[in-house]
């Protein structure tokens, strides 16, 4: 099995190292100091489950990799629209694109029977540019329940969690999902093939939609947000509004707000990825987390005043980091 990992940072590096350990032919796509470190020392994983080092091929030139069986996207979702030139040289007739992203994916309504089937979410896929770069028929969803951090170039710190749930947009148990899942398990990870991956998307989003923007606005850790009575109540309200939207588009996450809150609290003094991006001066991944859910609320008639307010102030903060440019026309990504 041949796999290319685009975005070989904390999550991409961890998955690539695990698949390499399982015997897959892994190619990591990186650049700068990260690429130099990967070439010199491989991926060094520090984990409470045991440290290990793997030596997959690393490059900044996708042309030298050629077609692969699976592309694992470790990129931020706000980079997907520009990913076309990296993806195209890696494709053969049956190549899958496994997108490990937070929030609502561009493929969300693809093959979802019901009133919104094939509806395009504008905040996630403006003018269809993401679909042009990442064709829907190749999409495999992936929800990450693992906490990692790039400690230094080539060094991944794994804190907890090894579950990477994957699934087809139509809910089928496909051979491509089964193949990838088996390789992940052989590498020491959990990778269930879920017939209803959208439920997992909403379970994770319940936390991300509240903790990520609040952490950026306050600079607080997960535990800090939970300890403060006001922000704890704010998180609860945002989760409640999110569950209403989920139900209106046909999904019922099987987790209570109390349980989701407790899980976040156990994470401790952990900075969300959004806060980490803010501190590094990088654009925050907010469209798929907040703007998409507000758009779905408009679509379904849900009342989400708190989500709408947090989305507005978070978006303004994001514009201070990276002023928004017009989206490219479809097919030019």
If pLDDT is split at 50, 70 and 90, which confidence band does 331 have? very low
Domains and CATH numbers, the chain: 2-195 (3.40.50.720), 199-321 (1.10.1040.10)
DSSP 23-55: T-EEEEE--HHHHHHHHHH-EEEE-TT--EEE-
Q: Give the pLDDT score at 69.
A: 98
Instruction: Find the catalytic residue in 190, 204, 271, 282.
Output: 204
181 contacts 231 by C-beta, under 8 angstroms: no
If pLDDT is split at 50, 70 and 90, which confidence band does 324 have? low
190 is catalytic: no
If pLDDT is split at 50, 70 and 90, which confidence band does 332 have? very low
Q: Give the pLDDT score at 264.
A: 85
Residues 206-228 have a mean pLDDT of 95
If pLDDT is split at 50, 70 and 90, which confidence band does 327 have? very low
Distance between CA atoms of 230 and 235, rounded to whole angstroms? 9
Strand order in the sheet with 155-167: 52-54, 43-46, 155-167, 139-152, 96-100, 70-73, 2-6, 25-29, 57-59
- Residue 70 has which token pair? 């699976």
Q: Give the pLDDT score at 323.
A: 59
Return all residues near 200 (Cβ < 8 A) that are at least 6 apart.
143, 165, 167, 194
Residue 6 has pLDDT above 70, yes or no: yes
Distance between CA atoms of 239 and 224, rounded to whole angstroms? 17
Mean pLDDT score across all residues of the chain: 94
């Amino acid at each position: 099995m041949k796999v290319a990992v685009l975005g070989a940072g904390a999550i991409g590096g961890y998955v690539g190292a695990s698949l390499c350990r399982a015997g897959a032919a892994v190619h990591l796509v990186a650049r700068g100091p990260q690429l130099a470190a990967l070439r010199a020392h491989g991926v060094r994983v520090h984990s409470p489950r045991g440290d290990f080092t793997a030596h997959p091929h690393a490059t900044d030139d996708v042309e030298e990799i050629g077609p692969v069986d699976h592309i694992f996207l470790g990129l931020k979702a706000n980079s997907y629209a520009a990913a076309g030139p990296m993806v195209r040289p890696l494709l053969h007739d049956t190549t899958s694109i496994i997108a490990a992203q937070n929030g609502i994916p561009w493929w969300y309504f693809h093959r979802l029977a019901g009133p919104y089937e094939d509806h395009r979410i504008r905040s996630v896929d403006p003018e269809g540019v993401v679909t042009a770069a990442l064709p829907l028929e190749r999409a495999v969803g992936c929800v990450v329940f693992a906490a990692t951090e790039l400690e230094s170039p080539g060094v991944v710190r794994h804190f907890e969690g090894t579950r990477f749930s994957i699934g087809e947009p139509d809910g089928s148990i496909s051979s491509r999902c089964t193949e990838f899942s088996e390789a992940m398990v052989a590498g020491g990870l959990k990778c269930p093939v879920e017939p209803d991956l959208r439920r997992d998307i909403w379970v994770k989003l319940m936390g991300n939609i509240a903790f990520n923007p609040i952490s950026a606005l306050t600079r607080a850790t997960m535990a800090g947000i939970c300890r403060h009575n006001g922000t704890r109540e704010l998180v609860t309200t945002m989760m409640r509004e999110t569950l209403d939207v989920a139900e209106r588009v046909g999904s019922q996450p099987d987790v209570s707000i109390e349980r989701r809150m407790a899980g976040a609290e156990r994470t401790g003094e952990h900075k969300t990825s959004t806060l980490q991006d803010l501190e590094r001066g990088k654009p925050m991944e907010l469209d798929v987390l907040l703007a998409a859910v507000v758009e779905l609320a408009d679509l379904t008639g849900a009342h989400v005043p708190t989500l709408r307010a947090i989305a507005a102030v978070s978006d303004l903060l994001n514009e201070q980091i990276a002023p928004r440019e017009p989206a490219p026309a479809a097919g030019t990504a």
